Structure 1
Amino acid sequence: MDERVDLYRRTIDAVWNKGDLDACDNLFAAHCMFHDPTFPIDGLKGFKEFVRDLRAAQPDFHMDVHDVVAGEDMTATRWTCGATDTGEFRGIPRTDKTYVMSGMGMSKWEGDEIVEDWVVYDMLGVLRQLGLVPEQASQETTA
């Protein structure tokens, strides 16, 4: 299980922080299914396109993996990422503002490859930081 944790950390660093899309092939099966609540991702090829497009719009994108918990055929991760929004990305306009976002993921493994990947993250928080969604007004209560 420690090998999976090490492989996951090394590959995520190479892919997200260095833009090495070929490193995806070391972690994800060619038939891997990706479940993202915001952006549809069609297989490994679609994941590589997603990373490439995001890093093109946000060249300073960086992800820190805080925790990886490994079980028999699953890993759970907790991470934080951030960037400066310097280009349009899949319908999100350029704002030139920075953001920080937290998220978590679950991955199903077969052997030494991930075959299915789920992710959840605070996209609403990002849109607020970018000024694309207004902050929720505080409501004063009266007694």
Structure 2
Amino acid sequence: MKKSTILVLLSISLLILSCTNAKTERGIKMYSETWDRIINDANLDLINNTNFTEDITLITSPENIVGIDAFKAYYQNFLTGFSDITFTVVDVFGQGDRIVKHWNFKGTNTGEFFGMPATGKTVDINGVTLVKMKDGKIAEEQDFMDNMVFLQQLGMVSSPENMGIINNLYKAFEIGDMPTVLGGMDAKVVWNEAEGNAYADGNPYIGPDAVLNGVFARIGAEHEYFKLENIQLHEMSNNQMLATLRYDAKLKANGATYNVQAAHLWTLNNGKVIAFQQYVDTKKLNDAINN
């Protein structure tokens, strides 16, 4: 092959590559600016046939969302469901008509979200979107994110760590390790004893010190022994744990013993107990005290 022919082919290849790169850069710019305005400016009207193909497709399970109207209705849930929204494109790159976007979404769930009532929770979630462009328009998207983390942040499912945290608190209480028990509580924990229980006179106890002095210290001073038995933990939604158990105890004042059913409802946030509600057979407790 002649040298001149090689140079011509090389020039053509470089020209094609340059045009392809320019096309990709235009697609990335258009895509990033469009989604910034849709989410951060709450401008859903930009989901139109100027920026998206008529058959824009969001790849989802069990059924894809197809068409501008359906696509727009889908994202309406995010703008209706969240306030204080910040949508950030962390990184974006592409090749040809394919774009990959790494994004971050922050917001507070203050409105109905896909038919679910507001939780008031704040979310901060990262994800990746695979994008296909066509003739300068957005033609297809597929989102990838940790849905379990998203639901946990919304308070719709609980953190898998909650059971271990509460289990460790009961173990610490069993051996009298009060620093560990109190250390598992938020600084503003709200603690309520069952109505009718003698220790309910201080409800609500706010903060670990109030719980220590108003509940734990009194239990220790007034009982020869106080044991928690048959503890069973039950995971609940909204970062709550339910414990069903029995109290086996003996009072110092009159030597009376009691063995009663009880239940504890724990609420956690970021690995700390923020609320506690006791339920117990207060009649048996009072019968023992007045024996």
TM-score (norm 1): 0.86
Q: Which residue is equivalent to 2:93?
A: 69
**Using CA pairs below 8 Å that are at least 6 residues apart, which structure has the higher relative contact order?**
1
Q: Please name the residue that 1:18 is paired with.
A: 41
CA contact (8 A) 1:102 1:121 kept: yes
The question of 1:41 aligning with 2:65 is answered: yes
Contact residue 77 and residue 106 of structure 1 kept, 8 A: yes
Distance in 2 between residues matched to 1:57 and 1:35, nearest whole Å: 21
Contact 1:81 / 1:101 at 8 angstroms: preserved in 2?
A: yes
1:136 corresponds to which residue? 160
Paired residue for 1:2, among 14, 22, 25? 25
* CA contact 1:85–1:98 (8 Å) conserved in 2: yes
**CA distance, structure 2, for counterparts of residue 134 and residue 62 of structure 1:** 24
The residue type paired with residue 56 of structure 1 is T
2:138 alignment partner, one of 114, 120, 126:
114
Partner SS for 2:65: coil
Kept in 1, the 8 Å contact 2:89–2:103? The answer is yes
Q: Secondary structure at the match of 2:47?
A: helix
Aligned-pair identity in percent equals 27
Contact 2:56 2:71 in 1 (8 A): no
As a proportion of its length, which structure holds more helix?
A: 2
Gaps of 5+ in 2: 1-23, 166-291
Hey, what does 1:57 align to over in structure 2?
A: 81
Inter-CA distance 18–36: structure 2 relative to 1 (3 Å threshold): farther
1:42 CA drift (Å):
3.5
Q: Distance in 2 between matches of 1:102 and 1:36?
A: 18
Larger Rg: 2
Q: CA–CA distance in 2 between the matches of 1:62 and 1:47?
A: 20
Partner Cα distance (2:43, 2:118) in 1: 24
Corresponding position: 1:29 with 2:53: yes
Which sits farther off after the overlay, 52-61 or 97-106? 52-61
Please give the alpha-carbon distance, in whole angstroms, between the structure 1 residues aligned to 2:63 and 2:47.
18
Give the drift of 1:44.
1.6
State the Cα RMSD in Å.
Answer: 2.1
Q: Is it true that 1:103 corresponds to 2:131 in the alignment?
A: no
Q: TM-score, normalised on structure 2?
A: 0.44
User: Per the alignment, in what secondary structure is the counterpart of residue 60 of structure 1?
Assistant: strand
Distance 2:78 2:102 in 1: 20
Q: How many residues align?
A: 139
Amino acid of the structure 2 residue aligned with 1:114: I
CA distance in 2, matches of 1:65, 1:101: 12
